Amino acid sequence: MHFDLSEDQAAFAAAARSFARQALAPHAAQWDAESIFPREALAQAGELGFCGLYAPQDIGGLALPRLDATMVFEELAAVDPSTTAYLTIHNMATWMLGTWGTETVKAEWGPALTAGQRLASYCLTEPNAGSDAASLQTRAVRDGDDYVITGTKAFISGAGATDLLVLMARTGESGPGGITAFAIPAQAPGIGYGKKEQKMGWNSQPTRIVNLDGVRVPASHRLGQEGEGFRIAMKGLDGGRINIATCSVGAAQGAFDAARAHLHDRRQFGRPLADFQALQFKLADMATELVAARQMVRLAASRLDAGDPEASTYCAMAKRYATDAGFGVVNDALQLHGGYGYIREYPLERLLRDARVHQILEGTNEIMRVIIARRLLDTRRPSDIR
């Protein structure tokens, strides 16, 4: 397997690294401390194509492979995992609209979303439908040329500050086959937002409940066919799991770089910390975990790009491993900083808080184990996972 980056991949990574240093690094701590949603920075990201990395070209996207998108997200997350994670969610919602939207919806929303002039939220989770997403209860009832939607969504990133909701609602029977996807203007009559949740991390993006009370949506705003919504959601989550895994790798790389520099700069007992073998071994283990997580993510992205029938399993593996390993690397980096790692003058505690939620969202890591185990134990078809 060839592991070197292509010229295009290296160029995208370099552009993302430069943007992260200039547009994110000077402000990330303030956005976190003051819970500021950085729309201006996100619009600047859109100017570089980062708001439509894998969206179709007919709506202004770059149509990049998922592997190439990981190069961008990793560089951004090394500086600001919270803002980058929102950007990955926006990319997923934009891709869904560009892939399954009607020509009417794509023309109205697509170019503005890929340019970062408008922003999107993804609405799947409900108060009583988290890991069991197929049990969602938000209902869409056909009424002439419209649908009327009523229900509640929970833990929605960007809610109250974004312009479009890509939302899953039930149009048919119980279970996954009765779910349909919609693109809904975020300020449509009948939509209300709960209080901004006070969170451990991810503070540069607001999280709110979304209440829908008789929201009327034209049938032209349906994404795909009736009953196709759960399949669309799961396709989105394959890429979403790679995205969140990549954010963990990025956070781990940022923490690792800080720890390595600290070991050279900090002196104790008359010697640099880098001279102590116990700390050398810790750094070596961190680097090994980081490289392994990155390769797992890139393998899963490559499988998804190739349309591999086992791609979903690889995405679950990558999400499970990279988010656990990434959090571990950040935690070890904080430990290597000692008391300095615990104060906000240094980025370690922010990286730690932001990375922790990655083990929960896009399917908890326990659910990732369920997905992997079910596939491994499926006797109906031979396993080609190796």
Strand 271-272 and strand 267-268: the pairing is: antiparallel
CA 264 to chain CA centroid, nearest Å: 33
Alpha helices in the chain (DSSP H): 7-19, 28-34, 39-47, 66-77, 81-100, 103-114, 229-265, 277-305, 311-336, 348-356, 365-376
- Catalytic residue among 74, 289, 349, 362, which? 362
Q: How far apart are CA 372 and CA 359, in angstroms?
A: 16
Token duo for residue 266 = 């900090």
DSSP structure string for 184-220: EETT-TTEEE-PPP--SS-TTS-EEEEEEEEEEEEGG
362 tagged catalytic? yes
What the block records as the tokens of 17 is 């690294």
Query: 207-218 and 146-157 as β-strands: parallel, antiparallel, unpaired?
Result: antiparallel
CA dist 132 to 2, 120, 159, 231, 378, Å?
Answer: 38, 23, 21, 14, 20
Q: Which two tokens stand for residue 178?
A: 């009765």
Cβ-in-10-Å burial (0-12, 13-18, 19+) of 378 comes to: exposed
Residue in the block written with tokens 């997403």? 133
Closest CA to 108 of 116, 118, 96: 118
Residues involved in catalysis: 362
